[in-house]
């Protein structure tokens, strides 16, 4: 069993995920009560992109050896990759308690904190992981500096570790955006090309990350077709599959079952006054349609606070029976509002999870005082932008052009249904109008909320707190029209997308 595990670890180091998986599975078969065998199996599945399958193996490793910080941290990373929040936090908390000075664990905890917006704590973890000459925290620290707009600091950090650029995949991938923003795109591309020849560079997660980074660099170098093709290689390597028919059927049911009369009946059953949730504002739309931009604009108003992308509403909706009693509806509403207001009160609090578009019936049932702002953008520009971003394993439909087109069409369909049936106030905002005549659009949205205009809204890029979605780089600078019409440059690659949009 020991030799099998040694062979599995060696194969992981060489990027041979299939061999690693085979040896790890054999080790587990021989010694099902040995925690490290399950840990190596979980790592092998993660390296091969089998994130969902990695979770039960890592749970077993943590169960068999609950004092293994590595098992808890790796389980946290797998759950985080699946888009979860609360359980990864508990896993990382346990790992850090068990090994408070481990550079590798500090770096992973820092990455989790960074993605949740806890920048100060994330920076502390990254810097601690870089102590004593170690570089475990350098990739995360690079990303944090770049997110803050500190390009000079990020480039200085790159130069501090000259032996890592083009050698360490994590460091190199984190470095590319800062190098591009500092006018060193050619250096970034050379570093990515150097990774291709390294042992271990062909494992699935590395290929995906490198090709997405290469796409970003090629875009910056004015080569949109080559950039598009790099993203295609990334998506192919990840190998995700989206069930188009199942999602369309889900939207069919939403449009059939959730009428104005039904939602109003539930709201009447649950409500304790028609203003419950009057501080809640839901910003919905397709990803890459301007939701982050509008969130940052509105959050710059002194009477508005943002919670970012909360995952609470979908979880509540999944647990809520269609025939819920008034007590159940009241409890669900209290659960959501407790989370919304956890970090402080404001006249309006934003929840900008784009996929809440699929749960607006739940909002109407629970929070009759809430408001909705719906973003939309040119279909081709939206879909090409989605295809160009790495959403990890959370948005499988963005990795296939036909599925992307179908998802966009279903989004339009369900939003048209809500416009006709939803009793909540809804304000439509077109991305092209928002960037084309910003002050007029911002005044209109603020009037929808009953707020006076504040000039700080158009200086959103000066905020200390950065955004934490795929749009973070765009909202670190003033409004511009650069993204309008971006699909035209790759129009000859969009045949499958058009089929999906028009199916």
Cβ(297)–Cβ(289) below 8 Å: no
Q: What is the pLDDT of residue 480?
A: 72
Going 165 to 169 to 175 to 181, the CA torsion angle's sign is positive
Q: If we measure between CA atoms, which residue out of 296, 328, 332 comes closest to residue 314?
A: 332
Q: What is the pLDDT of residue 290?
A: 94
Cβ(231)–Cβ(387) below 8 Å: yes
Q: Considering only residues 215 and 270, tell me which one the structure prediction assigns the higher pLDDT.
A: 215
Report how far residue 91's alpha carbon sits from residue 503's, in angstroms, rounded to the nearest whole number: 43
Q: Out of 1-10, 63-72, 158-167, which region has the weakest mean confidence (pLDDT)?
A: 1-10
Report how far residue 400's alpha carbon sits from residue 383's, in angstroms, rounded to the nearest whole number: 10
Q: If we measure between CA atoms, which residue out of 382, 383, 381, 359 comes closest to residue 372?
A: 359
pLDDT band at 133 (very low <50, low <70, confident <90, very high): confident
The arithmetic mean of pLDDT across residues 316-340, rounded, is: 92
> How many helices (H) and strands (E) would you count in the chain?
25, 5
The arithmetic mean of pLDDT across residues 45-57, rounded, is: 91
Q: pTM of the full predicted structure? A: 0.83
Cβ(386)–Cβ(398) below 8 Å: yes
Rounded (10°) CA dihedral 18, 107, 66, 205: -20
Q: Is the pLDDT of residue 43 over 90?
A: yes
Report how far residue 298's alpha carbon sits from residue 305's, in angstroms, rounded to the nearest whole number: 8
Give the position of tokens 């939207």.
Answer: 251
pLDDT, tens digit (0-9, with 9 covering 90-100), for 259-289: 988 887 766 665 555 689 999 999 999 999 9
If 0-12 CB within 10 Å is exposed, 13-18 middle and 19+ buried, where does residue 464 land? exposed
Full set of structural domains in the chain with CATH: 244-501 (3.40.50.300)
pLDDT band at 472 (very low <50, low <70, confident <90, very high): very low
> What is each CA distance from 269 to 362, 423, 467, in whole angstroms?
13, 15, 37
Average pLDDT of the residues of the chain = 90
Cβ(410)–Cβ(251) below 8 Å: yes
The arithmetic mean of pLDDT across residues 208-217, rounded, is: 95
């Amino acid at each position: 069993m020991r030799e099998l595990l040694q062979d599995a670890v060696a194969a992981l180091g060489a990027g041979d995920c299939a061999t690693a998986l085979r040896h790890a599975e054999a080790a587990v078969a021989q010694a099902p009560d040995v925690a490290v065998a399950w840990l190596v199996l979980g790592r092998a599945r993660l390296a091969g992109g089998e994130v969902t399958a990695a979770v039960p193996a890592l749970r077993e490793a943590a169960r068999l050896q609950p004092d293994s910080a590595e098992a808890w941290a790796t389980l946290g990373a797998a759950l985080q990759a699946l888009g979860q929040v609360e359980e990864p936090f508990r896993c990382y908390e346990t790992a850090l308690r068990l090994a408070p000075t481990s550079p590798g664990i500090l770096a992973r905890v820092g990455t989790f904190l960074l993605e949740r917006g806890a920048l100060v704590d994330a920076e502390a973890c990254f810097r601690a992981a870089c102590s004593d000459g170690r570089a475990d925290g350098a990739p995360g620290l690079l990303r944090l500096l770049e997110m803050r707009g500190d390009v000079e600091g990020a480039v200085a950090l790159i130069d501090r570790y000259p032996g890592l650029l083009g050698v360490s995949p994590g460091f190199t991938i984190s470095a590319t955006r800062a190098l591009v923003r500092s006018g060193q795109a050619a250096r970034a591309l050379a570093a990515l090309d150097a990774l291709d020849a390294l042992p271990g560079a062909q494992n699935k997660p590395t290929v995906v990350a490198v090709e997405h980074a290469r796409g970003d660099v090629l875009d910056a170098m004015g080569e949109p077709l080559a950039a598009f093709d790099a993203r295609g290689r990334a998506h192919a390597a990840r190998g995700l599959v989206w069930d188009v028919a199942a999602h369309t059927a889900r939207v069919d049911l939403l449009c059939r079952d959730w009428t104005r009369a039904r939602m109003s009946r539930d709201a009447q059953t649950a409500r304790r006054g028609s203003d419950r949730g009057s501080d809640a504002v839901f910003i919905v739309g397709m990803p890459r349609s301007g939701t982050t931009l509008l969130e940052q604009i509105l959050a710059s108003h002194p009477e508005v606070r943002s919670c970012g992308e909360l995952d609470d509403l979908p979880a509540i909706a999944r647990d809520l029976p269609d025939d819920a009693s008034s007590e159940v509806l009241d409890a669900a509403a209290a659960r959501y509002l407790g989370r919304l207001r956890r970090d402080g009160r404001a006249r309006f609090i934003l929840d900008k999870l784009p996929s809440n578009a699929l749960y607006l019936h739940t909002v109407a049932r629970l929070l009759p005082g809430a408001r909705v702002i719906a973003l939309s953008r040119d279909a081709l520009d939206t879909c090409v932008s989605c295809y160009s971003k790495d959403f990890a394993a959370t948005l499988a439909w963005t990795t296939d052009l036909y599925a992307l087109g179908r998802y966009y069409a279903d989004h339009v369909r369900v939003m048209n249904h809500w416009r006709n049936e939803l009793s909540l106030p809804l304000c439509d905002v077109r991305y092209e109008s928002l960037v084309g005549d910003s002050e007029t659009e911002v005044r209109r949205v603020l009037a929808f909320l009953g707020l006076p205009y504040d000039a700080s809204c158009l200086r959103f890029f000066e905020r200390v707190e950065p955004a934490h979605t795929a749009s973070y780089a765009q909202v670190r600078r003033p409004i511009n029209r650069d993204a309008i019409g971006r699909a035209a440059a790759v129009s000859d690659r969009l045949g499958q997308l058009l089929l999906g949009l028009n199916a």
